Amino acid sequence: MIPLTLTTEERDLVRTRFLAKVERSEGCWSWKGFTQTPGGRGRMRVKNRVYYAYRIAYILEHGFIPDGMVICHRCDNPSCVRPDHLFAGTQADNTRDMDRKGRRRNKPRYGLDHHKVITSDEQVAWAVEMWSSGRMTQQAIGEALGVKQQTVSGWVHSSGRTAQQRRAQKRPAA
């Protein structure tokens, strides 16, 4: 996420353009500008980059988005850009929030990104356990979960490395 900083002048200009695309109401403020899907998250171009409209809304209200924070909706309406319906949270807050609202569509992506596999932590833990206990081959695990053997190999490898790192951290400093 590229941080967006605006001078006071820039902010005024952005605010004018922003408000022209917002339908304000007693409840949510709907974004009338560009969205990828109807009723989806609004997008707005600022200084040659495209940002989510609700992020712009938050920046206009608060001046900036705290480092590493994501902007969440209290109202569960992705197209809403009403500042007091938005709050900054961690990615974990956002995931928890979505779980609570039951609208998380994808399971967390895990493991080697370039395989573009979306698997749950439970599946990965299961795969590692099956393999390390010798009950299944990596090939068989891959078939059971619908992923490549190389993917399973990656999970096994990274889980081993994590265990090593944990041990290394426990070791007292010399």
Does position 41 interact with Zn ion (CB under 5 A)? The reply is: no
What DSSP string runs through 48-73? TEEEEHHHHHHHHHHSS--TT-EEEE
Q: Which stretch binds Zn ion (CB under 5 A): 21-29, 101-109, 133-141, 159-167?
A: 21-29
Which is nearer to Zn ion, 77 or 159 (by Cβ)? 77
Q: How far is the CB of 62 from Zn ion (least distance, A)?
A: 16
User: Binding segment for Zn ion among 9-17, 24-32, 35-43, 109-117 (CB under 5 A)?
Assistant: 24-32
d(CA 33, CA 21): 5
Minimum gap (Å) between residue 42 Cβ and Zn ion: 12
Size of the site for Zn ion (CB under 5 A): 6
Distance CA 109, CA 111 (A): 7
For the segment 116-145, give every residue that binds Zn ion (CB under 5 A): none
Taking the alpha carbons of 130, 132, 134, 137 in that order, is the dihedral positive or negative?
positive
CB 130 within 8 A of CB 141: yes
Eight-class DSSP state of 81 = -
Among 11, 15, 21, 28, binds Zn ion (CB under 5 A): 28
Nearer to Zn ion, 77 or 151 (CB): 77
In angstroms, the CA 63 to CA 15 distance is 12
Q: What is the largest CA-CA distance in the chain?
A: 65
* Contact between 147 and 115 (Cβ < 8 Å): yes
Q: What are phi and psi of 8, to 5 degrees?
A: -60, -45
Least Å from the CB of residue 86 to Zn ion: 8
To Zn ion, the closest distance from the beta carbon of 144 in angstroms equals 42
Nearer to Zn ion, 78 or 111 (CB): 78
List binders of Zn ion among 58-87 (CB under 5 A). Answer: 75, 77, 80, 82, 85
Residues lying near Zn ion in the complex (CB under 5 A) are found at 28, 75, 77, 80, 82, 85
